Amino acid sequence: MEEFDHEVDAPRGATSREWEVFVREDTADPLTHVGSVSAPSADIAREQAASLFARTAVTLWLCPADETHRYQTDAATLGTGKAGDDATMSVDEMESETLRGENR
């Protein structure tokens, strides 16, 4: 029996809180995960999701992505590696590296 011992715990949500969206298109259908929307509150998430899925869905569930624990049987799809890996410039480095046409 699989243990679901691989957790995908990297954050989701680029500009505000992320909400996982589930819909059912008919009362006899299973609830289906259809992605996520970015919104600062559940009410706004509901509006966002409704604008995308209300045409066909009869049921809408929203779960905050940061409260959703994601487990899978296999190791992470993209392998491992600390997010960021210090690959990105610091703010000071960006400032000092930015060209402004000084040597043109």
Residues that bind another protein (CB under 8 A): 8, 10-15, 18, 23, 25, 32-39, 48, 51-53, 55-57, 70, 72, 76-85, 87-89, 91, 94-95, 97-104
Minimal distance, residue 64 CB to another protein, in Å: 14
Q: How far is CA 15 from CA 11, 12, 35, 66, 72, in A?
A: 12, 10, 16, 14, 26
Q: 61 Cβ partners below 8 Å, 6+ apart? A: 21, 22, 23, 31
Minimal distance, residue 56 CB to another protein, in Å: 5
Minimal distance, residue 51 CB to another protein, in Å: 6
